[in-house]
Structure 1
Amino acid sequence: MLGKTLYYDMIAAPSARRVAMKSSASCRILMCAPGTNQYLVFESLFERDCAVVFWSMKTVRSVTAQYGPIEWTDADGVIHEHYADLRVEYENGEVVLYCVRPIGRDRRGILRAVVKSIRNHELKYHAHRIEILTDRVVTKAAVYRAREILSARRLMNSPDCVRLLELLKAKIKPIRAFEIVEEFGDEGRGMIALWNLMGDGLVEHVVKDTSLTFEAVSFVRAARVN
């Protein structure tokens, strides 16, 4: 708008562990936290995808990576150090540590044993909860949804959101996304408003199988008020 290009220096977000940028087993991902110039270093694509899902949630205040060290004791009484992949702070003040692993990557139960030891002995010094997060929870559909919400959030127009929500509230039954956008009158602005409303929890994707990706033919409705 000013006719000038502005550049921001990227700085590393606070992290307890320095991650090697090369690995024979996985890649390393650098990504800025939305709305900041701080970048996080992730040890895998799936770890990055989990962070994207958390960033898209309105209930999340902050996400950091490589949190620790946290001490845990094995069956022989030997003390080790562990680093949680993600530390998520929610708007209600709850802090949760997540150990991120695709399903099937902990067949021997080593990570489960680590998490159990931390829960029993060290958790109160670091967070309210510690969980193992797999792709059974963070599905490809959830990642796609999160990316679209984050993209739409940068372009949010509040009057568009209000008008689209009023159109949906007037519907007795769920309606396909492309149909409500056509009624809105502008496909681009309508879809941006729709993604923002879904990100804010004001519109629901009506589907029995939550692993299904949202598409233009998907059904939506205004969120039900309890």
Structure 2
Amino acid sequence: MKSIRVLQHLKQYERGIDTTKRAIPTTTGFLRPDRPFSGRLITFNDGKFDYENSLSYEEAGDRTDVAWIRPFLSTGTRQPVPRTKGSVRGHDYDVRLNRALGFESAGEMKFGALLKADRNVVNIEDQPKSVRFWRPSALTPTEHTIDYRATFANGLRVGFPVKHTMDDEFPIVLKDVEYMRVQCSDFADDFVVVTEREVTPEIVDNAEAIAFAFAARNERDCRQVLEFMQRTEGPVDMFQIVESFDDPQCAWVALLNLIYDGLVEHLDPSQTFEDAPFVSLIAN
């Protein structure tokens, strides 16, 4: 952990920021999300909950027809078993769906972050119902539970098995995906095997930051940062942007939300925001 802090300090120093010269804060700063960080505020009318519309704190106000609804359980047909030695298992949370997402490996957890950070993904199903397909010369069908099925804004549904290339089952999964594409169109429009080659540490780091920022979103901050970007020409350093505001952390969250919205472009998405911090406004 100490080495990470030292590396962060060196990177900040290269950008002209020396945190050791700053005065020790005398107050605590807080993010200011418009909505609950988990769960939703929804209306209760005529004995029914309106799950589709999530209210902000301002919209809820002192209304008596508003209730907080806790996150829903995972819809997975197979839930992660208690963690064992050498494994990564558990549940993540997607604030957009207000639902837990189960994962049974580090690769699944990381890829889930990528799906959460993609505004084009409108639904994520972890461990959906198994698909049945026939292998050549087989006497019985094979059943396989896909790790994720994602539905995109254009209606496309894609099944994603997540496997490490060094996994003994990886070659088998590659072949099975070809059979699924031909035989299981009722389950998904396409099937794509995801490996550590696509889910790189840099991409995951950015995705996790964006997913967290979306949960802590504040629309007023987003508008202010967008107006600042509109007055700026050409690529600009993300850290220079946020340091221009009284609450840099709130500005940082807003900036990541603008990237999520597709209004601001990170110019080198293969690198982390910290290592390649230049962004630019996307012309509409």
Q: How does 1:35-74 map to 2 (within 5 A)?
A: 35=96, 38-74=99-135
Moved over 4 A (4+): 6-11, 22-25
Q: CA 1:28 to 1:182, structure 2 compared with 1: closer, same or farther past 3 Å?
A: closer
Match of 2:159 among 76, 97, 102: 97
Which of 182, 198, 201 pairs up with 1:120? 182
**SS of match in other structure, 2:154:** coil
Unmatched tracts of structure 2, length 5 or more: 1-56, 62-66
Q: Give the alignment of 1:142-221 within 5 angstroms.
A: 142-207=203-268, 210-215=269-274, 218-221=277-280
Residue aligning to 1:80:
142
Q: Following TM superposition, by how much is the alpha carbon of 1:59 offset from its aligned partner in structure 2, in angstroms?
A: 1.4
> Using the alignment, how far apart are the partners of 1:87 and 1:111 within structure 2?
16
Counterpart AA for 1:96? V
| Structure 1 unaligned regions, length at least 5 | none
CA deviation string 1:112-168 (max 9, x = no partner): 11101111222x221111111122222212221122112222332223222222222
Q: RMSD of aligned C-alpha atoms?
A: 2.7
> Bigger CA drift: 7-16 or 77-86?
7-16
Secondary structure of 1:68 counterpart: coil
User: What SS does the aligned partner of 1:67 have?
Assistant: coil
Cα gap change, 1:223/1:47 in structure 2, threshold over 3 Å: closer, same or farther? same
CA distance in 2, matches of 1:101, 1:22: 19
Q: Judging changes above 3 Å, is the alpha-carbon distance between structure 1 residues 77 and 53 closer, same or farther for their aligned structure 2 residues?
A: same
**2:119–2:260 contact (8 Å) kept in structure 1:** yes
Provide TM-score, normalisation by structure 2. 0.68
Per-residue CA distance 1:10-42 (angstroms, 9 max, x = gap): 653222235443556633122233255642321
Q: Distance in 2 between matches of 1:130 and 1:192?
A: 33
Report the Cα distance in structure 1 between the residues aligned to 2:270 and 2:82, rounded to whole angstroms.
32
Question: How does 1:123-138 map onto structure 2 within 5 Å?
Answer: 124-138=185-199
1 or 2, which has the higher strand percentage? Answer: 1
For 1:7 and 1:162, the matched residues in 2 are separated by 27
Worse-matched range after superposition: 156-165 or 93-102 = 156-165
Q: Is the alpha carbon distance of 1:194 and 1:115 closer, same or farther for their aligned partners in structure 2, counting shifts above 3 Å?
A: same
User: Alpha carbons of 1:184 and 1:18: their partners in 2 closer, same or farther (altered >3 Å)?
Assistant: closer
